[in-house]
Amino acid sequence: MTEQGNGTRVRRALITGITGQDGSFLAEFLLSRGYEVHGIVRRASTFNTERLDAIYADPHNHGVRLRLHYGDITDGAALRRTLDQAQPDEIYNLAAQSHVRVSFDQAEYTADAVATGTLRLLEAVRDYTAAGHAVRLYQAGSSEMYGAAAPPQNEKTAFYPRSPYAASKVAAHWYAVNYREAYKLFICNGILFNHESERRGETFVTRKITRGLARIKLGLQEKLYLGNLNARRDWGYAKDYVEAMWLMLQQAEPDDYVVATGESHSVSEFLDQASSCLGLDWKKHVKEDPRYLRPTEVDFLCGDASKARMKLGWAPKVSFEQLVKLMVEHDLELARQETTLTKAGHQVAQRGASQR
Ligand code: NAP
Ligand code: G4F
């Protein structure tokens, strides 16, 4: 903690994966609650901080409470250095190769970032705590860990992972439990079901659908290529879910929590909902492409978040219908901007979402 002018203490948070969907919402949430927020950013040849544009300020300015550090969850020395520099009271470990389909292509890297990356951070936190610092850690677990386990899934449901990503998240979960018990560290595993938003990466199915259908509506593309339309997911709004992460770290004791809406929809139901917002018939435009199928699929996720409701007082605020609508409206606006630019003679980069 750092001292403010009026003698009150400013809490410090460190977020790994701050440039991602959840990291950006969490950073905004923590800044709004008066925290000083530190984030780990990967070096890239292009800007990867787009989701932070609204809260980024020049660090030379006085009173800036967002600080970015170069680092990587696969680089233990840099993690330790960042802990020393940021001196956090709370750490949110969100960094991950988070795409399930890609984890079949990049299995070793996914394990290094998701499983061993968490272990690296836990080791650094263990030493940071031994040096006299009090810190609380949130570990980003996933409903993918349940995989083939029958719904509804809650904290007592046995994991049955179905991808290198999910198996790596299971390892990270148990590393976290072990470090909590072995070294009495304050660590919480959040087992979050799918959560989406207008900031969702464009290769995840919800955003791929809202981006694709909005572009089809305005005549910017003809077809949308998708994989398995029968899979069912429990989809919530990301902004609601980052609040649950924070709530976990404010409790008297560390524990693990499922965060979910308790409502499940198939990919084709998501298509129905998005199409009705746009007045389209998706069946005329969507083509199935086997390249988007997974060697082992997760068919049915539906979370039981009773524990989070009871102990954290958490409940989702945004419904499935509201979520789809807000994503469609956002992507329709992006498509309108693309149309305007194209009409004015500008070349608009094709981000190739349909290829992924
Ligand atoms: P996301 O948008 O894919 O963001 C992932 C973040 O991790 C990005 O900031 C990314 O950096 C960073 N990252 C990737 N590899 C890294 C590495 N080697 N070192 C450091 N940072 C790295 O994911 P999200 O949807 O925000 O999810 C946040 C976390 O929750 C992830 O751990 C994810 O697995 C987990 N989760 C997500 C959901 C969901 O439905 N969204 C559900 C359950 C669990 P770049 O921006 O540079 O790529
Ligand atoms: O949007 P998805 O890629 O998300 P998935 O696999 O459920 O994983 C997401 O949620 C997890 C929480 O449960 C997170 F841990 C993870 O990091 C990530 O955020 O796929 C959802 C469903 C799958 O069944 C997939 O097979 O949609 C199906 N799908 C059908 N066509 C497709 C596509 N998925 C993608 N990405 N692209 C398609 O074209």
316 CA distance to ligand 1 middle (Å):
21
Residues 222-236 have a mean pLDDT of 98
Residue to mutate (ligand 2; options 191, 225, 232, 233; most atoms within 8 A of CB): 233
In contact, 16 and 94? CB cutoff 8 Å: yes
Any ligand 1 atom below 6 A from CB of 168: no
At residue 192, what is the residue type?
A: L
Asked whether residue 6 carries a pLDDT value surpassing 80, the answer given is: no
Q: Is the pLDDT of residue 318 over 90?
A: yes
Ligand of minimum distance to the alpha carbon of 47: 1
- Ramachandran area for residue 321 (φ above 0: left; ψ -120 to 50: alpha; else beta): alpha
Compute the distance from residue 317 Cα to the ligand 2 centre, in Å: 22
Instruction: Tell me what percent of the residues of the chain surpass a pLDDT of 90.
Output: 93
CA-atom Rg of the chain in angstroms: 21
The three-class DSSP label of residue 356 is coil
For 173, phi then psi, to 5°, come to -60, -50
CB proximity list for 245: less than 8 A, separation 6 or greater: 22, 26, 92, 138, 140, 190
Residue linked to tokens 């945004």? 318
Asked if pLDDT for residue 50 goes beyond 70, the answer is yes
Rounded average pLDDT over 146-154: 98
Under a CB-based contact definition with an 8 Å cutoff, are residues 274 and 209 in contact? yes
The predicted pLDDT at position 348 comes to 79
Residue 264 banded pLDDT, cuts 50, 70, 90? very high
Place of tokens 């498509």: 335
Q: Which atom of ligand 2 is nearest to the CA of 192?
A: 12
Closest to 137 measured CA to CA, from 179, 79, 82, 84: 179
Q: Is 203 in the pocket of ligand 1 (CB under 6 A)?
A: no
156: three-class secondary structure by DSSP: coil
Cβ proximity of 145 and 161 under 8 Å: yes
What is the rounded distance in angstroms from the CA atom of residue 259 to the CA atom of residue 14?
21
pLDDT value at 273 more than 80: yes
pLDDT at residue 304, rounded to an integer: 99
Q: What is the mean pLDDT of residues 186-211?
A: 98
Question: pLDDT tier at 332 (50, 70, 90 boundaries)?
Answer: very high
165 is catalytic: yes
| Residue that the structure tokens 């149309």 belong to | 339
The more confidently predicted of residues 305 and 1 is 305
Distances (CA, A) of 172 to 70, 91, 120, 287: 23, 15, 10, 36
Alpha helices in the chain (DSSP H): 21-32, 76-86, 100-105, 107-111, 117-130, 164-183, 205-217, 238-249, 267-278, 306-307, 320-343
Residue 91 has pLDDT above 80, yes or no: yes
Identified catalytic residue from 36, 90, 144, 196: 144
CA of 144 to the centre of ligand 2 (A): 9
Nearest to 194 by CA among 129, 107, 100, 281: 100
Mean pLDDT of the chain: 96
Cα distances (angstroms) measured from residue 297 to each of 138, 157, 261: 27, 18, 21
Determine the distance separating the centroid of ligand 1 and the alpha carbon of 102, expressed in angstroms: 13
With 60 as the cut, is the pLDDT of residue 352 above it? no
HSE of 149, CA atoms in CB hemisphere, 13 A:
18
What number does the ligand 1 atom closest to the CA of 191 have?
43
Of all residues in the chain, the percent with pLDDT exceeding 70 is 96
Quick one: average pLDDT of 264-281? Answer: 98
Residues 111, 113, 119: CA angle, nearest 5 degrees: 90
